[in-house]
Amino acid sequence: MTAIDPISNTVAFVVKGYPRLSESFIAQEIVALEQRGMEIVIVSLRHPTDPAIHPIHDEIKATVLYLPEYLYQEPQRVVRAWANARRSPNYAATRDMWRRDLRRDRSASRIRRFGQAMVLGCELKDKVRHLHAHFLHTPASVARYASALMGIPWSCSAHAKDIWTTPLWEKRQKLAGCAWITTCTQANVSHLHDIAENHDNIRLNYHGLDLGRFPPPDLPRPPREGRDTHDPVIILSVGRAVDKKGYDDLLRALQKLPGTRQWQFVHIGDGERLPALKRLGHELGLASRIRWLGAFPQQEVLAWYRRADIFALACRVSADGDRDGLPNVLLEASSQRLAVVSTTVSGIPELIDHEETGLMVPERDIEALARALDRLIGDPNLRMRLGEAGNTKVREHFSLDVHINGIAAQFGVTTDNAA
C-alpha cells in the first residue's frame, strides 16, 4: 500500500472486497465524490478475485489498504495493531463492546472483524476523519469497532443482503451507533425506520446511474417478432448466479414459451449456482438456446444491452431473507431503451411502472413470467414503447448527478467542489 499522508479531511471507505465487477455502483460513487474534492482511502477486507475490472476502477485515485483477510496470515501485523490498540484510552470500552457482540455471535468472523478493526485503527490513526462502511454487515462491524477505538464517527451505506440477513439486534446497534446511514430504496428505508429508534439519521439515496457512461443507443433495434430461426429475439440477463436472482425460475419460464417462438437467452455473470443452472438448462431441453458468457467488464455489458431485445431478471426473496434492493442492471438496461421484465420484489417497483416502463410479475410466478416474456417476444412495438419510457424515467429520476449530491452533503462536501 502507498503511504497515506496525514490529511485530516480524508474519509476511509470500508468495503468487503475491492475491486469487484458486481459493485460498480461503489466505484462510480467514489469517482463522483473524488470529483467533488473528497480525499478517500479504500479499506478492503478481502483481496480482489475477479479476473477483470471495469474501466471506472482505473479512474479512482484513492489509495487501497488491504486488511488481513484472515488474522493468522499476517500475525506480526495483527500483534503490532493489538499492542497499539491497548495503549488507546478507548480500548477497554471497545473491547467490552466487542465481547458483548461475541457472546451473541460466537463465530470466527466476529473475532476476525475485531482484529481487522485494530489493524485499521493502527494503520490509519490520525490519517482519516471519518469511516464509511459500504454494507451493513461485516464492513459495518469493522467500521464500528474501529470508530470506537479511534474516537471518530462512522456512517454506512446499506444495500440488500446486508440489510435482510443481519440479525435484528445487530442492525439496531449499528443504526443507533452510526452518525448516519444511507440506503438505496424506499423499501429499505421503510424497513430501517421500523426497527430504528432514531429515524433522523436514515437517508434515501438511490445509487443512480452515471449517464455519461450509458448514453442511449444511436440506432433503433430491429423489429424482431420471434419468427425467424436465423434471427431470434435476444433475451438478456446480467447478474450473479445466486438464489435471490431467481435464474431457475427464469429458465423454467423460458421452457414454457410456445415452441414456435424463436429466441436466444444470454446470461452475463458468474456465481456459485452457475454449474447447477447449466445442468438445469440441459434438463429442460434449452441448452442450444442459451449462452452463458461469464462475468464481463462494463463496456462489454453495455454492448450486449444494445444487442438485446428484452432484459429479464426474476428476483425473489431467498429462504434466509436475502433479496435485491433495486438492481443497478435494471437501471442500465432501461437507459439503453431495452424493455425490461422483472418481479415486484423490494425496490424494483420504484423503477418499473407496470405496463408503462416495463413489465412486472409476482416473484416465483413462473407462468406469469412466461406470459410476460411471450408478450414481449411477439410485440416489438410494445418493447419499443416500454424501452423509451424506461429510458426517460431513468434519465429524469435516477441520474447519479442528482443522488450523489445527497451523499456528498452527508460528508460535508458541497456541489461547488465538483470538477
> Cα–Cα distances in Å, from 58 out to 36, 42, 52, 55, 121?
17, 14, 12, 6, 27
Identify the pLDDT of residue 415.
63
> Which domains, from first to last, does the chain contain?
11-208+399-417 (3.40.50.2000), 233-397 (3.40.50.2000)
pLDDT tens sequence across 214-269:
999 988 999 999 999 999 999 999 999 999 999 999 999 999 999 999 999 999 99
Whose cell is 424493455? That residue is 339
pTM of the predicted structure, to 2 decimals? 0.91
Whose cell is 455519461? That residue is 212
Identify the pLDDT of residue 416.
58
Identify the pLDDT of residue 3.
45
Residue 4's pLDDT band (cuts 50, 70, 90) = very low
Check pLDDT > 80 for residue 1.
no
Residue 52's pLDDT band (cuts 50, 70, 90) = confident
Check pLDDT > 70 for residue 419.
no
Identify the pLDDT of residue 198.
83
For residue 127 the three cell numbers come to 490519517
Identify the pLDDT of residue 418.
53
Identify the pLDDT of residue 8.
59
Contact assessment for residue 267 and residue 291, using Cβ atoms and an 8 Å cutoff: yes
Adjacent-strand bridge partners of 43 = 14, 65
